Structure 1
Amino acid sequence: MEEIIFEIIANGGDAKSSAYEAIEESEKGNYERAEELLKEADEALKKAHNVQTKIITDEVNGKHIQVSVLFVHAQDHLMTAMEVRTLAERFINLNKKINTLMERH
């Protein structure tokens, strides 16, 4: 089970890193690269979510797991990564607007 938990943590971390990097690229005006990084974040989130879905499906089918602090940490990590990804998209859009306004002046 720990291996599965670490898969969620690792993919959540990858997603978060890609999302933060996407924000940084958008601050530099590199919007294409920012979009690529968001796609990378989406792929990592998809992998983590698939693992999470398997655990939930197993639970529904009667294969109960013992909830550990590590599992709770993994869930927290995934949810945080999902939120960072969502906010990254908003920041990128704001950076596009800010950069456009700054170019006009």
Structure 2
Amino acid sequence: MERDGRRLSTVELTAGAFTLLAGRDGDPWAQAARAAGKETGVPVTAVTLGSDLEVRVAEGCWEDVAGLTEGGALLVRPDGQVAWRCAGTGADHGRRMERVLRRILDR
């Protein structure tokens, strides 16, 4: 992965915060994760990989390794463990992300 011309790892990208990593067509998941973070009071950093120049990745490479389609996403806990994964686009992103985050936080 690359940000601002600098190579970085997923560990660097997700360190210390709840972070949603979405495939290049996963912006609905990213928006839903940010909103769920606000609703629960737990900030969630959300990055749509490869859809814009924020974080560039080799085409298809990241999704293949993560076991996702371009519309999928995964949520990483602050300790670096994957807490949740949706391989595809899914439905009702907002409600689903809030439910996932509340379940992880036990709230």
Q: Same fold (TM over 0.5)?
A: no
Q: Which has the higher contact order (CA 8 A, sep 6+)?
A: 1
* TM score, norm. by length of structure 2: 0.28
Return the index of the structure with the highest Cα Rg.
Answer: 1
* TM score, norm. by length of structure 1: 0.29
Q: Which has the higher helix share?
A: 1
